[in-house]
Amino acid sequence: MRKKLGVSFIVIMLIALVAVLYFTAAEKKKYVSFHQFLDDNIPVSSMTLAQSSYILDNSGRSISEISPQAGIRKNLINEEIPQYVKDLFILSEDQHFYEHAGFDLPAIGRALLTNAESDTIEQGGSTITQQLARNMFQSYDKTYNRKLKELLYAYELERKWSKAEILTQYINAVYFANNMYGIEAAANYYFSSKSSDLSKAELSFLASIPNNPTIYDPLKHFEQTKKRQERLISLMEKEGKISSSEAKKMTNEKITLHVQKKTDLYPDYVSYVEDELRSLVSEEKGYAKKITKANDKEKEILSKELDAEVQKLLESGVIIHTGMDRSLQEKAVKAVKSSLITTDVEAAAVVIDHKSHTIGALVGGKNYKKYEFNRSYQAYRQPGSAIKPLLVYGPYLQETGKGVKSTVNADAFCKDGYCPQNYSGQDYGNVTLDQAFIHSYNTPAVRLADSIGLKTAFSYLAHFPFKKVTEEDVHLSSAIGGFTVGMSPLEMTNAYTVFGNNGSFKSSHAITSVTDADGNLLYEWKEAEETVWNKATNDKMRTLLKHTVTSGTAKKANFQAPYLGGKTGTTNDYKDYWMVGLSNDLTVGVWVGKDAPTNLKSIESNAPHLSIWKKILIP
């Protein structure tokens, strides 16, 4: 009975398929609406195969592969696919590929008969076009409903694409086990090579996998995969695609796998690059402006739209070019680890090439793992005296035109109930600006900020992208680092690049550009350079920073160099230690502390922040 029902169903299905074929092929006006229906509901022109994107360092070498959720894929164009591969798939998967209109009725009939016998979906009868449709629409369930959808999708593909386009996309789409999709990703993974560089025997081996990726997984069932390869070679010989001698040679060729793991290096830096990419897309696509004006509900909607935009970009196979310097990154990571071996204290470091305005290195923590809390840009801490060059001394020298040898009172200070003290608790009388700066006296800094006015002082700080600084921070205690939230190590280091550029500031970034696989520019930062203070003021600041390293609070970081300058910062109760400064070419910022602010006076004498800074910069 079940068999009779199955045969009856087959007859009905075949009649329906013939009818569909007839009606959709007709040119009469009354049938045009069906094609219009397909056009409206199956957007073939916008269909693409998601593929991997890559992050490159400043020398153009890959440091990270960002794969779509569906798997790893690297698309090839028609001309890049070896002809031998095309012949292999046509002969093994769909010998009537160039003859049918997307589906093969005799093959479907045979499959339906087999399935009726078993009362299950055992045999597919799918053409290459149907298999491509299945891959592109991600429908793998074995049901008759899925099959009917697949036929419509396949028919539409055949209407809109050439056979060459369909075959190319199929070879890019087909699954090769172990999360690899497409011949190029498979060649990269199993042989650490391009498909164009593989022998015909190796290509035959790869082409054996998609028929049944579970049975022919070469890592688990190498011998079974090899046997299928030999059957494919015999098929190619039988069809006259290769000679008997060539077939014998290919069969005897030893297949040696060289599995290449997914590239995933430098997690500290890569994590930030992925975040920065989102910011770049947000800026370029106008989301940033919209979000600033939106209410909470609108922000949530815009954020989801932005995430979808970024995901779409990454699945298009882009190349993200960065300024990461491998030697600097490795040096910075090593410096942090070696300086904090015996303690549970954490650290972050940022290195910027202030001439090119590119971030060369980022350290998110002592033993940072990808996507963990990245202290280099996600930790906002009180800056302590490290803020003085940007908020107090630079603005004061610019506003007054005075020199570093002019004097300021370093005795006790009180105003409106605010009475800060110097670190030692002592009074020093009148001292030069140089002395007050390099020894990081507090009361002179507050006096200087008060003398030019807090609004004036903060107008200079506004040149720098400190995200958490608000109107609530405009008070005297900010002159010595008392902010409501604080700054991140990246923000501080970024701001200090002003001292390496004659008083002008241009924000630095990790991403230098985003291109497609052919090198066409898609995104790049468009940052304007602006003058914060003049060169004369900047030269005075560089003198103060230099003296701090040679004979002030940062002298433990000193070594022989054409130029070194910096400023230390220690917050109340020794919860944070900072060292931010520069050489001729690089600006480096280091923060040391605990995620949960804790008194760390016990490590003060070891000065790990100075040790890290020095190790990064010393040749």
Q: What is the Cα gyration radius of the chain?
A: 33
Taking CA atoms, 589 is separated from 368, 449, 496, 568, 580, in Å, by 17, 24, 9, 10, 4
Task: Spot the catalytic one: 80, 93, 372, 399.
Answer: 93
Nearest partner of 235 among 90, 81, 108, 83, judged by Cα: 90
* Pairing mode, strands 62-66 and 346-353: unpaired
Task: Give dist(CA 240, CA 251) in Å, integer.
Answer: 16
For residue 133, which amino acid is it?
A
Task: Give dist(CA 353, CA 66) in Å, integer.
Answer: 26
Q: Assess contact for 590 and 576: CB atoms under 8 A.
A: no
Task: Give dist(CA 570, CA 78) in Å, integer.
Answer: 61
Q: Assess contact for 157 and 129: CB atoms under 8 A.
A: yes
Q: Assess contact for 358 and 512: CB atoms under 8 A.
A: yes
DSSP 472: G
Task: Give dist(CA 136, CA 130) in Å, integer.
Answer: 10
508 is catalytic: no
Task: Give dist(CA 181, CA 197) in Å, integer.
Answer: 18
Q: Assess contact for 111 and 124: CB atoms under 8 A.
A: yes
Task: Give dist(CA 117, CA 9) in Å, integer.
Answer: 12
Beta-sheet strand order (sheet of 346-353): 358-363, 346-353, 586-593, 576-582, 565-570
Task: Give dist(CA 335, CA 327) in Å, integer.
Answer: 12
Structure tokens at 481: 């680092």
Q: Assess contact for 562 and 537: CB atoms under 8 A.
A: no
DSSP 553: T
For residue 438, which amino acid is it?
I
Task: Spot the catalytic one: 385, 488, 508, 583.
Answer: 385
Structure tokens at 608: 């790990």
Residue with tokens 């931010």: 580
For residue 344, which amino acid is it?
D
Nearest partner of 128 among 156, 146, 103, 153, judged by Cα: 103
- HEC per residue, 378-398: HCCECCHHHHHHHHHHHHHHH
Task: Give dist(CA 243, CA 229) in Å, integer.
Answer: 16
Q: Is the dihedral of CA 486, 492, 495, 499 positive or negative?
A: positive
Structure tokens at 24: 């959709």
Task: Give dist(CA 580, CA 609) in Å, integer.
Answer: 9
Task: Give dist(CA 429, CA 404) in Å, integer.
Answer: 17
Structure tokens at 458: 């903060």
385 is catalytic: yes
Structure tokens at 362: 């980022």
Q: In 536-549, which positions are buried (b, 16+ CB within 10 angstroms) versus exposed (e)? A: ebbebbbbbbbbbb
Q: Is the dihedral of CA 149, 153, 155, 156 positive or negative?
A: positive
Q: Assess contact for 170 and 89: CB atoms under 8 A.
A: yes
Q: Assess contact for 580 and 567: CB atoms under 8 A.
A: yes
Catalytic residues: 93, 385
